[in-house]
Structure 1
Amino acid sequence: MRHQLSFTCEGDTLAATLDEAPGSTGLLIVSGGNEIRSGAHRGMAMLAARIAEAGYPVFRFDRRGIGDSEGANGGFESSGPDIAAAVAAFREAAPQVARIVAFGNCDAGSALLLHQPLALDALILANPWTYDGEQADSTDEPALPPASAIRARYWSRLKDPASLLRLIKGEIDFRKLLRGLSALKQAPQPAVTDSLAYRLDSTLAELLCPVTILLAIGDRTAQAFIESCGPSLAYIEKNPCTIRIERLASTSHSFAGDDADWLAAQILTALAA
């Protein structure tokens, strides 16, 4: 059964939804960008119903200044108190829950890392946002993918006779081509110590709780995360620890359509661990 409820965070009233289930492990869904708790095209609401049907209670909420919640929207970098208050409200609304796993896509995943320590038992981070100076959005992506992704894309096209034929026939937009080729000159740069990518990477290295990282490898935000945190990811994959990395051959930033089955399966695996 689904219930609407509210809780307070630093004097503001926040709106939340609980999908009831008997399990002692619960899922906290943290929304990314300025997305309301139901998600784009009700994606998070449908995910919550699916997870609850499998026996795990699910708690979703609108952070301050979003959707039905009061207060000012300070973005994901100031959402630590919202998440902490949601964890406490979840435990109060579902007292049988002894273990809480939090899921966040895009900058919601970044927020779950940035605001550690939180009273959570495990994290599921999907396509974490690593761009500095930009506000993540639930549907929009950065104007260009990272240079490494562009290099791979154009190299594959240069080897494709059909693409060369389209170029000769004038069927390719030269402005887009030149824009993409300009990115090939960009050498990968190590993350500077005050950058978002560096802070996320540093937190990952120090976390003690289990973490699952989900990456849609055709998604620009995921590509940027892979480029920024590449050495750490390579080390993790060669030296299994408390961090699990799962990759999906998809361009869907929010795991829409058929990708929703894969996302739900990964979340259920983390909940059952």
Structure 2
Amino acid sequence: MRKLIAFLCAGETLLGTLDEAPGPTGLLIVSGGNEIRIGTHRGMALLAQRIAEAGHPVFRFDRRGIGDSTGDNGGFESSADDIAVAASSFRAESGVTRIVALGNCDAATALAFFHARAGIDALILANPWVIEPTDDLPPAAAIRARYAERLRDPREWLRLLRGGVNISKLISGLAKASRKQSQQADGLPARLGSALGHGDIPITVLLAKGDNTAIAFHDAWRGAAFETARARVMITELDSASHSFASAADKQWLYEQVLAAL
């Protein structure tokens, strides 16, 4: 049975969807970016249905200012209250005693920051967001990866020689590719590294290897900020460039990873 649930957060009304099941361990799905709880191409709704059929209740919700929920959209950095009240409502409505939370993109980063307050018992973080945007170009690590791939392709050299490459864009890309990620103590990579390095709950990071956000995270992961996290966080990678795990094979892989964590 799937039902809609309204609950309050800081004076605003949030809408959530509960896929009911008898199991004591449930999945809380937190949407990334400005995505509504259904997910890209209904991906999260379909995942919730399959997980519930496997015996685990699933709760999805729209944070303030997104989808069916009222209020202002303050972005993932302001979602601590939303995640906490969603987890509380999930417990109250389903009776679950253990919550595993799944987030993609900046929802993964939000869960890393705010899970303790919500009393979440385990995390599945897909393609965590570590990018502090400065322009419209992809992150530097993603640009480096793309150039390395193209340099191995003779057809790309022919395109360059024949004038098929935008030189201005190429120069801009090379300039950004030479930059390092922020090493500031208050920068997003450092904050995420600290969050992942503390606590004692199980954390699994899922990466679509060809996705720009995942490439940026993998680049940050090798830095000093993640030294403690590397000892306690498990990373699993999928050979895909789909940020939202869009293909049937990607969806099956994601389902298997989530079910294993549950």
Alpha carbons 1:226, 1:233 under 8 Å: kept: no
Residue of structure 2 in register with 1:81 after alignment: 81
Pairing partner for 1:159 from 142, 152, 162: 152
> Could you say what secondary structure the match of 1:268 adopts?
helix
Equivalent residue runs for 1:214-229 within 5 Å:
214-229=206-221
Give unpaired runs (5+ residues) of structure 2. none
Q: Does 1:107 align with 2:106?
A: yes
- Residue type at the aligned position of 1:75: G
Deviations 1:125-170 (A, max 9, x none): 1111112368xxxxxxx83333333233323322322222222233
Provide the C-alpha distance between the structure 2 equivalents of 1:229 and 1:192, rounded to a whole number of angstroms.
15
Residue of structure 2 in register with 1:251 after alignment: 241
Equivalent residue runs for 1:80-229 within 5 Å:
80-95=80-95, 97-117=96-116, 118-132=118-132, 143-186=136-179, 188-189=180-181, 191-229=183-221
Residue of structure 2 in register with 1:38 after alignment: 38
Provide the C-alpha distance between the structure 2 equivalents of 1:148 and 1:32, rounded to a whole number of angstroms.
21
Residue of structure 1 in register with 2:260 after alignment: 269
Identity %: 56
> Could you say what secondary structure the match of 1:115 adopts?
helix
Aligned residues: 259
Provide the C-alpha distance between the structure 2 equivalents of 1:11 and 1:34, rounded to a whole number of angstroms.
20
Give unpaired runs (5+ residues) of structure 1. 135-141
TM-score by length of 2: 0.91
Deviation, 1:213, is 0.3
TM-score by length of 1: 0.88
Provide the C-alpha distance between the structure 2 equivalents of 1:63 and 1:264, rounded to a whole number of angstroms.
23
Deviations 1:55-101 (A, max 9, x none): 11100111111111122222111111111101110011111x11100
CA RMSD of aligned residues (A): 2.0
> Could you say what secondary structure the match of 2:237 adopts?
strand
- Residue type at the aligned position of 2:39: G
Deviations 1:9-53 (A, max 9, x none): 122221111001111110000111111111122111111111111
Equivalent residue runs for 1:16-31 within 5 Å:
16-31=16-31
